[in-house]
Structure 1
Amino acid sequence: MLTGKVALITGSTRGIGKSIALQMAKEGALVAVNGTNANSVQIVVDEIHSIGGHAMGICESVATIAGAEYIVSKTLTHFGKIDILINNAGITRDQLLVNMSDQAWQEVLDVHLTGTFACTRAVVQHMKTRDEGGCLINMTSTAGLMGTVGQVNYSAVKAGILGLTWTLAEELKRFSIRVNAIAPAALTDMTQPVIERIQAKCEAESKPFPDFWKVGSPEDVAKVVVLIADDSSTVSGQVFSVNGSKIGKWEKPSHAELTLEELKDIVCREN
């Protein structure tokens, strides 16, 4: 499906990012593997080579503008082009708002939102010059769509990525650059601590474990990413959720006009 395409995948040394890198390589893409640990980057590159794929590694953080631009530049130097960008790099620093440090807020903001912005800007500048279109896929979360207690920083940046996705889909459609987002639910190194805490709390309180947290695998997400990235796809400006075999499509928030009396009724009813 992706033969000859060059795919840059940030945060692709483990979890969902690694699964996407391997799946895209299997489909014929030339893959730029990115992470912040040189050994982990090389392990994924070697694994792709072992299955007959083509890959190169870039050890650098997306958390700064300079770092993100370096990642894009190294990919272009090695492969000569970028057809697909997957903004996957992410971290969590979970705390309740009143306990959250400035550092915990800023680190999550830098990796998720600044990283997505900076990588996207650099790649789009290249794609516009080539004038052959392209595909951008951003990783959001149900935390950004619905909110999650204890993740005010993570929820905020993932909601920001939704706005970025919808805006860029409109800005870039005249250049045939498609922009979509995926809200994945999968058991990874990043999500496992959260899920384990919820499991322990449910057991302590003798409550059933919520179906919402019964998640699929990174490979399930990778299959959807490859499908959206394929040239035959024309979808843009959409947000899809993936949890195992369950795939959903989120709509933009709807707007309903109210009279003052209707507003009073809602406020009173909610209270």
Structure 2
Amino acid sequence: MPGIYIAAILTSLIASAGFGALIYKLPKPANGWLLLAAVLICLPLQPLAFYLVRLPLDHWLAGWLTRKSMAYQWLATLYAPLTEEPAKLLVLLIPAVFRDIRPENFSRYALAIGLGFALGEMWFIAERVSTQPALAKLPFYQFGGYINERLMTCVFHSAFVAITLSRLRRRLWLGLGGAMVAHWAANFPISLMAWNVGGLGRSAWEVIVVLWLVALFVGALALLTRYTTGRKFPWHLLYGIRHCPECGTDFEPSPMAVNMGSKRYEKCPHCRKWLWTERSSTK
């Protein structure tokens, strides 16, 4: 078995376990069977969008403009957002799913749809890599970049579709447009690297792209957290509500702290003192 397929299996298991547990545990009322259906329905949507829409569109555009023209290269950067974001919404054609998505639980469905879509894309890319002899013979442990990138993509796709679903019943076109813009912004620096804008060279552009993706990844996490919990970042999910031994009050953990297992050295927002805190026994 080609190493890329082993890497895809490992990545699928990690993503399914992590996102599956999160989707299951989120305190957002939703039909569990419909959430599972959303994941399964979205599995083939990325390959279908690629072969049935993107390739014919590219063939037509290349014949009209030629592939070397700058107009073609700029328009080609729109392929992914224009084809993939609408494709994710095909799950809404299931009436039960559409009815079950509400303002209080749309983020849960966004995670389910994003996971299913990302898993399908994961295997689509693995299949294409396996057809390249130089890559197909590599062992799975040399595909660390693939694993990291695909796991990040689960977050990106979930965040993009969350933007759309946030406007499901009021100006859906606005949410879909926002998702497309966000998707395009995530991919565009890769095009700049391919064009070697500024003559910076591939090495410099690779660093820029990585930094851009990391910043966007943090932003996607923050957006999903905002939609899910109403907070900018769920520090309480990682460290629990903290208890101050000095003034006896409970408070949300701070991002600025020193972590030592169950103890954290942080500033209590009530007594304004820096001290070692523990998880609250009451929350």
* Shared fold, TM over 0.5: no
TM-score (norm 1): 0.32
Structure number with the higher strand fraction is: 1
